[in-house]
Structure 1
Amino acid sequence: MTLLSPITLLTALPLVGAAAVLTLGAKSNKLSRGLALAFAFLALLVTLILWHWFNPALGTLQFEELRPWIPSLGVEYHVGIDGLGLLMLLLSAIVVPMSIAASWHIKERASLYFALILMLQAGLFGTFTALNFFHWFLFWELSLIPAFFLVRLWGGPQRATAATQFFIYTMVGSVALLLAFLAIFLTTGQFDFISLAAMAHNDELLPAIASGLAWHSFTAGKAALLLAFCAFLGFAVKVPIEPFHTWLPSTYAEAPTGVTMLLTGTMSKMGVYGFLRILLPIFFIQLREVRTPLLWLAVATIVLSAYAALAQKDLKRIFAYSSINHLGYCMLGIFSVLQFTGNSPALATEKAAALNGVFLQMFNHGLTAATLFWFVALLEKRSGGLRGLDDFGGLRKVAPVFCGMMGIAIFSSLGLPGLNGFVGEFLIFKGSFPLSIWPTSISVLGLLLTAIFLLTILQRVFSGPVRQKWTTMPDLTLAEKLSLAPPLILMLILGLWPQLILGFTNSTVMQFLQKF
């Protein structure tokens, strides 16, 4: 009997941790927090070991495990990772302990809270490693359930409405996604992503759809386009792309900040990951047919969300719209790659630059956005729950370390050269401009608007006269400084040495482009 792959062990680890935390009961809050954090760090250690063992030169799936599960339904237990999957595993393994640390003040039903966090992490690990739709969809939904209860039970005053809206939106997307793949299975007998991508690459998918779904005037091309749209809807809601984004601001604002960190840092990446791992390899031809409207949806996601952030007064809502804006850059890069370029080596290079930028932006945004929401949580803790843009002023005089460290994260989000936020956006714009001139040019407005609302935060919260009630606001404690230092240091390292990630993803990008 063969041993389990390290990916299976990594995915099972948070579930074991969740069960262990639940056994502690409601009276062991401190121990529950400590045990959850210990399992989160253990998962990070295993992920770093995978990173060390991974061979970045191959560009193919590694640590694969393939076992029969339900042969009569074409269901197999198939897991594996390439550079993209490894990067998302690392992001999840970093953000979860950050979320637990930011939730250290949770005392009400703490064991349940931290067990749900670990269950959500297991869902993330499974989503980023599963290669069979049946298996993958279980983890896709597993991440939704704990997220719903975390918002519903520990959120703000409007948590019930926000949790319900979040659940309904994402469930509608999941149902559309499920219907699409059930239809694909009925025509191909396949649930495996790699096999389906190979069929699409060899022009075998469309004839299979034609034999099973095309009737009367509803041609195989139209049927394939409908299936692509259903799958697109499932991922577009999760990213989210405008106009499927309206659940996000209220959910981010009402969720406890540790959960908001997970929503923006990792769960939103599930949608982008779905575009890259599933939608593009299987439905590349169909997406190319509607490339122009998709590009303008990306432009709207970038520009309109940044403009909406300008109108917000709640810091969490500002950063929520900022999150949509930054993920819009990922979609711009992905949709630009749909451009037909023939055998032009120069444009092939630009496609590689755009996709590398998307990979890097996914990681960098997850790290930076989660850190920014952590700072908002610390601000709420010191102000008695206030987080309005106009509630503060002059904080750099009374809490200079807090303002300095948060300023690093803000400038990273702004895309300041030398910090991690710059490189991914630069590569996306560099690659997208020759492929999609007008959408990319208009998307630059998003950078300008982002600079305006982020600098407004610096001005209104940190500068100006100090209000009387904030003159005694404490600065960061030693424990808080030590907790926040690692993500900030990582922002600086990746800003100066992006090859640390690009060296692991470039071969995967080249494999992606060859399949397209």
Structure 2
Amino acid sequence: MTALLTATCAVPAAGAILTAALPAGTSDARRRTTKTVALGVSAATLALTAVVAARFKAGGPRYQLTEHYSWIRSFGISFSLGVDGIGAVLVLLTAVLVPLVMLASWHDADPAPAPEGTLDSNTFEGRRRTQGFFALILSVEAMVIVSFLATDVFLFYVFFEAMLIPMYFLIGGFGDRAGGPDAARQRSYAAVKFLLYNLLGGLVMLAAVIGLYVIAQDQGFGSFDLQTLTGAIADGKLTIDPTAQRALFLGFFFAFAVKAPLWPLHTWLPNAMGEATAGTAVLITAVVDKVGTFAMLRFCLGLFPDASKFFAPAILVLSVIGIIYGALLAVGQKDIKRLVAYASISHFGFIILGIFAMTSQGQSGATLYMVNHGISTALLMLIAGFLISRRGSRLIADFGGVQKVAPVLAGTFLIGGLATLSLPGLAPFVSEFLVLVGTFTRYPVLGIIATLGIVLAALYVLVLYQRTMTGPVKAGISGMADLKVRELLVVSPLIALTIVLGVYPKPLTDLVNPAVADTLSQVHQTDPKPAHPVAFFSYAPLGGEQK
């Protein structure tokens, strides 16, 4: 038995404890030591995830490198881990983004000048601010990785809920310094709203988890092991009454839809992303929210196949509403970060659309979309963070003419925007195309409506660029500095991944497709055949007979 997956989870967890325990101090040197240690831990985690990806065999069993340690024997609960192709690419995404978030957030936890008449800035801001900030980021990384690897339903639930704690403190305790005069109150409101929404979803899911265990135990399957339960359901050895299965499905799906977030359960996201630092906003939408859509594939479809098919049409309608709604509200935003938040709501609609279209193209596209959205949104949001920190404002109206004074910043911002609108040749285009093709083959009307989201995306991205980067140089912009070396180290890998995965997505599809095929088999779905068979002709030379 290998402990590779446990090590991948344990390294960031241990790093969080180590970072929090480092000696507090007011000097730049001590803060720099804290940041360096945290960054080193995230780099070690990335190395471990690379080993996991290298050892994963795309043609092998669905769950590989499995580990199983008994936890609570009386209830059949275990610390069970296993990686499939979908989990592998999302763990890699998490491990790539976290060190980049740390680099981008290098000064976000540094003490700010204290208000006049108060004590010195270090005492005012708190001596352990830097340690806490970077320890919380590592805690989120550890919990998200466990969630992507957990093959025990109860284990997944524990970490699905536990990640809310560090995220709450990141949003509420380390907010965007470009906020208005009531920034502290808005930040507190956003953090509490995030926590309450997700706690409610988690409590509903807990009731469903308990219900699933009771039903399984009554039929001799007193276990939370995912492979045992899905195997028994597929073989007909574990049967769940249709009414009970639908109720359990809704319990799980509600929690995942809040986390994702799916319209109309989305309202916490714009507040959280708007008030958080740019790095924390990336953790929310590019990492944490992916746990919700991932869990729909792994748990909703695997454990409740019949209920998944029953509710699929309704979920698809909500997804399409989310696509159009998010894009329309993004068009009208005055705040850069809230614009990115509403754009993400639209993108999550595409992801969920692909999942519940229940076609191989749709689900492969949805999984790729999770990765590509994470990369493109991280790129756009982090560059927006650099822009906002220079100007001290999040309002679009306060910018203009940036490309004349900071051309590199403007150019990278344009690439991030073009990726967000899924320009062909960039990574999100491939996933969005697959989602739409997969949806159209089974639900052509919904597929056609969803394409309106692409048109609206072009509108809000290009208008954002035009208002902020072009035109006359506005007051407060003339002295703006261009991207520095540290900031270029952040955006360069994201741009490279956006381009490489846009022209050559095969490494990801090779990992994802076997798991997608297995998921479709669990819900007993196959790709629909074309309504009009394609006729193939062979042609004889000129003057000959057509065959």
Shorter-normalised TM-score: what interval?
over 0.9
Question: With structure 2 as the length reference, what TM-score do the two structures score?
Answer: 0.87
Determine the structure 2 residue equivalent to 1:23: 21
Contact 2:103 2:487 in 1 (8 A): no
Q: Which residue of 1 is the match for residue 153 of structure 2? A: 133
**Equivalent runs, 1:278-317 vs 2, <5 Å:** 278-317=299-338
**1:479 Cα deviation after fit:** 2.6
Which of 479-488 and 457-466 deviates more? 479-488
Q: Deviations over 1:283-323 (max 9, x none)?
A: 12012112221110011111111111112100000000011
User: Aligned ranges for residues 50-449 of structure 1 at < 5 Å?
Assistant: 50-58=52-60, 60-105=62-107, 106-108=109-111, 109-156=129-176, 157=183, 158-188=186-216, 189-206=222-239, 209=240, 220-337=241-358, 351-383=359-391, 385-449=392-456
**Residue 205 of structure 1: how far off its partner (Å):** 3.7
Q: What is the CA distance between 1:468 and its match in structure 2?
A: 3.7
Q: Is the 8 A contact 1:76 1:135 kept in 2?
A: yes
Q: Residue 430 of structure 1: SS of its match in structure 2?
A: helix
Counterpart Cα distance in 2 of 1:475 and 1:361: 31
In 2, distance between residues paired with 1:417 and 1:269?
23
- Which whole-Å CA distance do the structure 1 matches of 2:478 and 2:273 have between them? 29
Amino acid at match of 2:131: S
Change (3 A) 1:400 1:510: same
Contact (CA 8 Å) 2:301, 2:522: kept in 1 or not? no
Unpaired runs of at least 5, structure 1: 210-219, 338-350
Q: Following TM superposition, by how much is the alpha carbon of 1:471 offset from its aligned partner in structure 2, in angstroms?
A: 1.5
Match of 2:457, as an amino acid? Answer: T
Which has the higher Rg, Structure 1 or Structure 2? Answer: 2
**Residues in 2 aligned to 1:239 and 1:59: alpha-carbon distance in whole angstroms:** 28
Q: Which amino acid aligns with 1:502?
A: T
Q: Runs of 5+ in structure 2 lacking a partner?
A: 112-128, 177-182, 217-221, 524-547
The aligned amino acid for 1:334 is: I
The alignment covers a number of residue pairs equal to 488
Q: Percent identity?
A: 35
Q: Deviations over 1:88-132 (max 9, x none)?
A: 110110111111112101224100110011011110110000111
State the alpha-carbon separation in 2 of the partners of residues 52 and 435 from structure 1: 35
* C-alpha distance in structure 1 between counterparts of 2:80 and 2:487, whole Å: 41
What RMSD over aligned residues (CA atoms) do the two structures have, in Å? 1.2
Q: Does the CA contact (< 8 Å) of 1:85 and 1:129 recur in 2?
A: yes
Equivalent pair of 1:59/1:510 in contact (CA under 8 Å)? no
Change (3 A) 1:240 1:134: same
**How far apart, in 2, do the equivalents of 1:319 and 1:416 lie?**
17
Once the two structures are TM-superposed, the CA of residue 80 in structure 1 deviates from its matched residue by 0.4
Distance 1:318 1:496 in 2: 27
Kindly state the Cα deviation for residue 59 of structure 1 after the two structures are TM-superposed: 5.0
Letter in structure 2 aligned against 1:360: L
Instruction: Spell out the pairing of 1:493-508 with structure 2 (5 A cutoff).
Output: 493-508=500-515
What SS is found at the alignment partner of 2:262?
A: coil
CA contact (8 A) 1:359 1:505 kept: yes
AA of the residue aligned to 2:96: I
Aligned residues of 1:59 and 1:83 also touching (Cα < 8 A): no
